Amino acid sequence: MRQTHSFVSIGGLTREDILSLIAEAAEAERQPNRTLLQGRIVATLFFEPSTRTRLSFETAANRLGAKVIGFSDPKVSSTTKGETLNDTIRMVSNYADVIVMRHHLEGAALYAAEISDKPVINAGDGAHEHPTQTMLDLYSIHKTQGGLDGLDLCLVGDLKYGRTVHSLIQAMRHFNPRFHFVAPKELAMPDEYKQQLQAWGIPYVEHTDLTPEVISQCDILYMTRVQRERFQDLAEYEKVKDLYVLRAAMLGGARENMKILHPLPRVNEIAVDVDDTPHAYYFRQAENGLYMREAIICDTLGIPLH
């Protein structure tokens, strides 16, 4: 267990860090209610909308005995009066022991971590990263596949703006994966990430169609929502929003162990008839977020669960 530290980017984690957090999450799942954080204050500052991320962080804090302060809508904070992020963070870091923050600007979490003398946890910074989502994705993959090594992952949808897939490929680099990317040209995986994969020697194949053949080749099918809020031109969004809809009828040739993940919220990407198939795992995945976020809060404060 490291000293108190921020959790801003997935890139800085080693294979051992990742496996150790997964073990801590399993421990949290075994016993979610504890008093480890009694007397501590967790601040949740959400400058962008959220359901699962904020609620699971707040539930995690409450289940560990901490108290929670914060806002879920920046309109009710002094941001609307023109207060800078710098000033908000300085002040909140005097109130709370750890700050969980989601912000629309890429790099906002790193910036906040530099200002704050308390740990900052990145709950999403623009289209950049979402490292705690990735940790719960990895926990879900580990639980369903019995490990993380040597898996075939197919990432589908908005690979350009989707921050969850950007963090996921970086974390998986330690585990010898093979990737399929399914996206329209407009939403393809950005070159910077593809170049990183090449430098790491990790194979990937790009597709524009989600076919049963691609589905039959993967252990994890990771669906994503087209990130409407990141488009400058909504006419462009309309063109791509419904390109991929996964239906139960497309799963006939899937591997038995194949699980479908989605960070949620889903819009149209997964038809409800998929929910009752043995491949659907997205609601359990969201539940896993609670345990992983208990592990992450404790980790940033240097408090072991084991």
Contacts to ligand NCD by CB under 6 A: 52-53, 124, 130, 133, 163-164, 225, 263-264
**Catalytic-residue membership of 102:** yes
Q: C-beta of 130: minimal distance to ligand NCD in Å?
A: 5
Alpha helices in the chain (DSSP H): 15-30, 52-63, 85-95, 108-115, 131-145, 163-172, 191-200, 212-215, 234-240, 282-300
**Catalytic-residue membership of 142:** no
Q: What share of the chain is helix, strand, coil (3-state, %, to 5)?
A: 45, 15, 40
**Catalytic-residue membership of 51:** no
Which is catalytic among the residues 40, 44, 52, 118? 52
Q: What's the CA gap between 304 and 1, in Å, rounded?
A: 7
Closest to 25 measured CA to CA, from 108, 148, 140: 140
Which is catalytic among the residues 40, 118, 128, 130? 130
Q: What's the CA gap between 128 and 164, in Å, rounded?
A: 8
8 A C-beta contact, residue 64 and residue 36: yes
Closest to 168 measured CA to CA, from 205, 133, 119, 207: 133
**Catalytic-residue membership of 52:** yes
Based on CB atoms, which residue is closest to ligand NCD, 40 or 225?
225
Please name the residues in contact with 100: beta carbons below 8 A apart, sequence gap of 6 or more: 42, 43, 44, 45, 54, 57, 70, 120, 121, 123, 297
Q: What's the CA gap between 246 and 15, in Å, rounded?
A: 32
Based on CB atoms, which residue is closest to ligand NCD, 116 or 133?
133
Calculate ∠ Cα 288-92-3, nearest 5°: 60
Based on CB atoms, which residue is closest to ligand NCD, 40 or 130?
130
Which is catalytic among the residues 53, 88, 144, 300? 53
Tell me how far apart the terminal alpha carbons of the chain are, to the nearest angstrom. Answer: 10
Based on CB atoms, which residue is closest to ligand NCD, 246 or 254?
246
Based on CB atoms, which residue is closest to ligand NCD, 67 or 266?
266
**Catalytic-residue membership of 5:** no
Q: C-beta of 48: minimal distance to ligand NCD in Å?
A: 8
Catalytic residues: 52-53, 81, 102, 130
